[in-house]
Structure 1
């Protein structure tokens, strides 16, 4: 029993000492926090209502160092949480020698509102605060498919790819805008989109640039099909040749090669394409004529002639 009493007595002494220590620290802290000091506080400026066609540089921040007389807890809270005031540049900005300035004294009332009434402002470290502004313009650029984008062999565009939106609005400093004239999509692998009529593509935009873009990606609309190739021999037709002439052709037939898509193969019943030479296209004292074609159905995507020129010898009939 005596041992337990000694332990209990020691615990009471330890507890009493601990409470006394905590109370002493609290009294000391209260004294420090309520005491009046003269020190500096950092005020962050949140700039608002910039002049038209201007913007702040990326990462631009402005702070104002203010010497105050205030209680300790005011400085402690300011360091922990920071102090920010909103600055309306449309009302306070001044231009001088092509530079923009903010007079620190015009911010006194806003600074005072951020602190208790017992706080007194001794002085401001800066009288003039320079505000760096970038003068910006905008331009509209027509977007284009990357010229390195290729179709896989054996395929063609039923409908050429279109971009939506077709244009992009770019804003930024004059010197960078002047250097930018074209914007392309990324290199598109159309093989991955053979069965897709719509897909997204990123744009190739300048890196490390101060320019701003209305969009960074676009929608591509297209239709792709595989083509079939046909070959046939056809007779040459004669157009505008005088009736009183006799014509010797070499060769009399030409090879006609044409392509059409798998989706249009059912439309091909009989090819009505006609190959002809025109007397009116002859050149004086020459026997060579270029071969032309007409009546080509719109679903045929390519026509090749072999040969594309023939020799025609004309003899008048008496």
Structure 2
């Protein structure tokens, strides 16, 4: 292990990812559930994309946003899991300095993009339920495409300062990162400089972004709930609310683990480092794995399309 302790340098060509410190002997066992979740995420999101592309009846704003979510989930888990598995399986700990900064950018950019897509999906449900007659004129295909592009640009522009600031710091302590990936603070904490600007920027922008997105989703669903309660019959209320159920499950699946991870990182000083690292990876992997299941099972049109080859087998 002492071979990794490199000192007296300012611009390391590589960093060393340690995986899960303290649980090195269990890396192979830890890799099994993570690999299974990654495969599930790949198959699930690719299936969603394939079904929506092939089924013309699903070419609607709701399913376009679902495809954006699937692409975002694929990028989010693929930018971290392959490297993590190479650490666990082959002890391949080195990562190029530029590749590390690129990974940092993709993690935070697409996390922010996914949060924005959930806001867009909430807006879609709001228009569909509260103003259904104008839904097709408000959310046209060009508008949906512009919303998707805006979410990616928003995530990119807000995230870009993090790797740019990280690149300028001198690293004269060590090149060892106690993590499975190039998390923003895990990298800049290695710098031998005043990194408060990086720390404050990452914390303030991240908290502001998530707070605003959660606020807009909450406002949308308050309006949706008010409209649903105004419907005349119980059946119509249940049916209308059912169209929002999958989105609500996915929102909770995305924000609650992330919020818990932030809280334990900020106030859980006595929480072991390996717990922080494992839970951070779970937060990155579980939403991409569960989102296709949530939308596939709870969205009747997708579920029917998935079952069609089996139900029509004998015809």
Q: What TM-score range do you get, normalising by the shorter chain?
A: under 0.3
Higher helix proportion (structure 1 or 2):
2
TM-score by length of 2: 0.21
> For the pair shown, which has the larger CA radius of gyration, 1 or 2?
1
| Higher share in strand | 1
How high is the TM-score relative to the length of structure 1? 0.21
User: Which is bigger in relative contact order (C-alpha 8 A, separation at least 6)?
Assistant: 2
